[in-house]
Chains A and B, each alone.
Chain A
Amino acid sequence: MHPTPYEEIEHTADWALRVRGVTLESLFEHAAQGMLSLLEPGYLDSSPTGRSLELSAIDLETLLVSWLEELLFLIETEKIGFQNYAIRIEGTSLEASFESVPIESIKKDIKAVTYNELEIVHDQEGYRTTIVFDV
Chain B
Amino acid sequence: MVEKSDLIRIDDYRWEIPTSYRDDMRVPVQIFASDALIDQALDDKSMQQAVNASTLPGLVERVVVMPDVHQGYGFPIGGVAASRYPDGIISPGAIGYDINCGVRLLASRIAFEEARQWMDDLASALYANCPSGVGVGGSVRLTVKQLEKVCREGAEWALNNGYARREDLERTEEQGRIDGGQPGKVSTRAKQRGKEQLGTLGAGNHFIEVDVVDKIFNPEAAEAMRLQEGMLALQIHCGSRGFGHQICSDYVKDFQSAVKKYGITLPDRELVCAPLDSPEGKDYLSAMACAANFAFCNRQVLAHHARRSFEQVLAGKVPDWDLTQVYDIAHNMGKMEDHQVGGETVRVCVHRKGATRAFGPGFEGLPETYRPLGQPVLVPGSMGTASWVLTGTQRSMEQSFGSSCHGAGRVMSRSQAKREVWGQDLREQLEEQGIAIRAGSMPGLAEEAPKAYKDVDEVIEVVTNAGIAEKVARLRPVAVIKG
Q: Which residues of B sit under 8 angstroms from A10, Cβ to Cβ?
A: 413, 415-416
Is A77 among interface residues, defined by CB-CB distance under 8 A? yes
A62 touches B44 (CB 8 A): no
A134's partner among B97, B193, B414, B443 (CB-CB below 8 A) is B97
Contact A107 B443 (CB under 8 A): yes
Query: Which A-chain residue is minimally distant from B71 (CB atoms)?
Result: A12
Residues of A within 8 A of B93 (CB): 114-115
Question: B73 interface residue, CB < 8 Å from A?
Answer: yes
Per the bound structure, the CA–CA distance linking A117 and B441 in Å amounts to 31
Q: Which residues of A contact B394 (CB under 8 A)?
A: none
**A54 in the interface (beta carbon within 8 A):** no
Query: With A13-B70, A106-B134 given, is the CB distance from A111 to B245 under 8 Å?
Result: yes
Within 8 A of B (CB), among A46-102: 58-59, 61-62, 65-66, 69, 73, 76-77, 79
The reply to whether the CB of B202 lies closer than 8 angstroms to some CB of chain A is: yes
A65 to B245, CA, bound (A): 14
Residues of A contacting B202 in the complex (Cβ-Cβ under 8 angstroms): 109
Separation of A98 and B444 alpha carbons in the complex (Å):
30
Partner pick for A114 among B74, B416, B443, CB 8 A cutoff: B74
- CB-based contact A111/B98 at 8 Å: yes
In addition to A115-B74, A134-B96, 7 A-B residue pairs with Cβ atoms within 8 Å of each other are A12-B44, A62-B256, A69-B249, A73-B193, A109-B204, A112-B248, A115-B268
How near does chain B come to A95, taking the closest CB pair, in angstroms?
20
Neighbour of B97 across the interface among A58, A59, A111, CB < 8 A: A111
Is residue B281 within 8 Å, beta carbon to beta carbon, of the partner chain? no
Can you list 14 contacts pairing A with B, beta carbon distance less than 8 Å? Answer: A10-B415, A12-B71, A12-B411, A61-B269, A77-B193, A105-B134, A106-B134, A107-B443, A108-B134, A112-B245, A114-B93, A115-B252, A118-B270, A134-B98
Binding site for B on A (CB under 8 A): 8, 10-15, 58-59, 61-62, 65-66, 69, 73, 76-77, 79, 105-109, 111-118, 132, 134-135
A-B residue pairs, 3 tightest by C-beta? A116-B73, A115-B269, A114-B73
B297 at interface, CB cutoff 8 A? no
Interface centre among B202, B253, B257, B268 (most CB of A within 10 A): B253
Q: Which single residue of chain B is at the shortest CB-CB distance from A14? A: B73
Q: CB of B77 within 8 A of chain A?
A: yes
What bracket does the count of chain B residues touching chain A fall in? 35 or more
Is the CB–CB distance between B257 and A12 below 8 Å?
Answer: no
> Once A and B bind, how many residue pairs between them come within 8 Å at the CB atom?
100
- What's the Cα separation between A107 and B414 when bound, in Å? 14
Interface mask (B70-111 → A, CB under 8 Å = 1, otherwise 0)? 111110010000000000000001001110000000000000
Show the binding face of B for A, using Cβ within 8 Å: 44, 46, 70-74, 77, 93, 96-98, 134-135, 189, 192-193, 202-204, 242, 245, 248-249, 252-253, 256-257, 268-270, 272, 410-416, 441, 443-444
Contact (Cβ within 8 A) B444 A12:
no
- How many Å lie between the Cα of A61 and that of B272 in the bound state? 14
Given the contacts A12-B70, A77-B193, A108-B203, A115 and B270 also touching, CB distance less than 8 Å: yes
List, in ascending order, chain A residues with CB within 8 A of B252's CB.
Answer: 112, 114-115
- Per the bound structure, the CA–CA distance linking A75 and B441 in Å amounts to 19
Q: Cα distance A117–B242 when bound, in Å?
A: 23
Given the known interface contacts A106-B134, A106-B135, the answer about A116 and B268 at a Cβ–Cβ threshold of 8 Å is yes
* Contact present for B256 and A115 (CB under 8 Å): yes
User: Chain B CB within 10 Å — which of A10, A61, A115, A132 has the most?
Assistant: A115
CB-CB nearest in chain A for B69: A12
For B239, the closest partner residue in chain A by CB is A111
CB distance from B397 to the nearest CB of A (A): 29
* Contact between A79 and B135, CB atoms less than 8 A apart: yes
Contacts of A109 in B (CB 8 A): 134-135, 202-204
Contact partners of B270 in chain A: CB under 8 A: 114-118
Q: In the complex, which residue of chain B has the Cβ closest to the Cβ of A113?
A: B249
Q: Could you tell me if B253 and A65 are in contact, using CB atoms closer than 8 angstroms?
A: yes
- A111 contacts across to B, CB distance below 8 A: 97-98, 204, 245
Contact of B134 among A77, A107, A112 (CB under 8 A): A107
Q: Are A12 and B193 in contact (CB under 8 A)?
A: no
Alpha-carbon distance between A13 and B79 when the two chains are bound, in angstroms: 15
A107 to B203, CA, bound (A): 9
Distance in angstroms from A6 CB to nearest chain B CB is: 14
Q: Please name all residues of chain A whose beta carbon is closer than 8 Å to the beta carbon of B257 when the two chains form the complex.
A: 58
